[in-house]
Structure 1
């Protein structure tokens, strides 16, 4: 574990504006977010704020919001998000040296829509492989050292088999002392044994188990009887 808790503070005059009005951000402001395992999954519907959280956590650690490793800080010349500017961390015992020195920090932020561009900046030739293979290249070549690895919907470009490979990389990275925070819609990824699952929604943030996740329930129902869902969306 690198970090044990993330928290933030904001001027009360701004609390009614985005992103401060998101329920999950309100929970972060009130109580912070504690990390109970080396791998944490943030799960929620589109618009719930899980990607906003993931990006802010990456920025707070010093990773470029455009995506990439710690050595490529702010290559896209984008300012930090309002939440990312205010994120602070409480380090775990083994993470204190890393958090105490900017040069000692290691990590990578992978976001679905900019992953290949980030890899290209770091010397990888994404044009030579498929989109999914480009994602897996990051996992194979960049997710190696103990550090903080933040991912935003990495399953977007991956097949079922590639998601399983990703799961193996995540597990191996955690065993080597890395810490992973992943925003996802994937019931496959969230099934990783020992992972901590935080469900994000109108309720804010709450711990959940894989069996209790709404997304797992919906996938089970859909695979059992697709027509039960399709009749509501198809003419």
Structure 2
């Protein structure tokens, strides 16, 4: 039995290709979807990476919604929509779960995090029952903190372990130091029997050793190492050869 077959909570996601209405229209025309048959998840951490426009967020969103999460983020209990913008891809994905059942779960989406924070404040305002929802996020309104602080408050307080956590660009408001702290937090939660699926541009967050990285390319999905990702290669090249690369970018004389 492979490590994927021993998946913590979610083993794989299968595209029901025979039911797809057309591979010529969005989002099915995206290479990562058009070539997809089955996506196997690492029992600890699975990364989905790639250039802008390759469909990372579209694919991650569809995975989350197919599992029952709200398209704009939150736990399985959240049911709100400020705008119906998610694609129909989730309708054609079939999750394959393991015998284990997660006790916690969260879909974190940087793009709509503001909407989630607003929804939490609104629910606490209109509901008199205790405890307030915000208590599980640290007790302070997420709008009363900086963007990065509110992100990190969710990661540190709301994620409790034994969970399936789907994160779309969690590094968006985090400094490099906070990204390293986030990597440490991921390790803590993995040791508490958690499973992560993460879309990211951050080579720091991609560095978790016990993981699989899927890179979205014009030819579809391929498995790569951290050192093979475009993010790592370009960042390393820039830091090691900053002046040369700046000259090329600015088209300055050599």
User: Which residue number corresponds to residue 101 of structure 1?
Assistant: none
Structure 1 position 8 matched with structure 2 position 15: yes
User: Is the partner of 1:93 in helix, strand or coil?
Assistant: coil
8 Å Cα contact 1:68/1:119 also seen in 2: no
- C-alpha distance in structure 2 between counterparts of 1:87 and 1:12, whole Å: 10
8 Å Cα contact 2:10/2:43 also seen in 1: no
What's the CA shift string for 1:161-197, capped at 9, x where partnerless? Answer: 1111111111122221221111001100111111111
User: Which residue number corresponds to residue 55 of structure 1?
Assistant: 61
User: Which residue number corresponds to residue 168 of structure 1?
Assistant: 184
8 Å Cα contact 1:112/1:153 also seen in 2: yes
User: Is the partner of 1:144 in helix, strand or coil?
Assistant: coil
- C-alpha distance in structure 2 between counterparts of 1:26 and 1:108, whole Å: 27
- C-alpha distance in structure 1 between counterparts of 2:170 and 2:13, whole Å: 22
User: Which residue number corresponds to residue 113 of structure 1?
Assistant: 111
Cα distance change, pair 66–106 in 1 and its aligned pair in 2 (3 A): same
8 Å Cα contact 2:27/2:87 also seen in 1: no
Structure 1 position 143 matched with structure 2 position 149: no
Cα distance change, pair 222–128 in 1 and its aligned pair in 2 (3 A): same
- C-alpha distance in structure 2 between counterparts of 1:15 and 1:148, whole Å: 30
Picking from 67, 72, 94, the partner of 2:100 is 94
Query: Cα RMSD between the aligned structures?
Result: 1.9
| TM-score, structure 2 normalization | 0.82
Determine which structure has more spread, i.e. the larger CA radius of gyration. Answer: 2
Gap regions ≥5 residues in structure 1? 99-104
**Larger mean Cα displacement after TM superposition, 184-193 or 123-132:** 123-132
User: Which residue number corresponds to residue 215 of structure 1?
Assistant: 231
C-alpha displacement of 1:212: 1.6
User: Which residue number corresponds to residue 133 of structure 1?
Assistant: 149
8 Å Cα contact 2:148/2:174 also seen in 1: yes
Gap regions ≥5 residues in structure 2? 1-7, 121-133, 135-139
8 Å Cα contact 1:66/1:78 also seen in 2: no
- C-alpha distance in structure 1 between counterparts of 2:20 and 2:81, whole Å: 32
- C-alpha distance in structure 2 between counterparts of 1:201 and 1:218, whole Å: 16
Structure 1 position 27 matched with structure 2 position 35: yes
| TM-score, structure 1 normalization | 0.88
8 Å Cα contact 1:197/1:208 also seen in 2: yes
C-alpha displacement of 1:75: 4.5
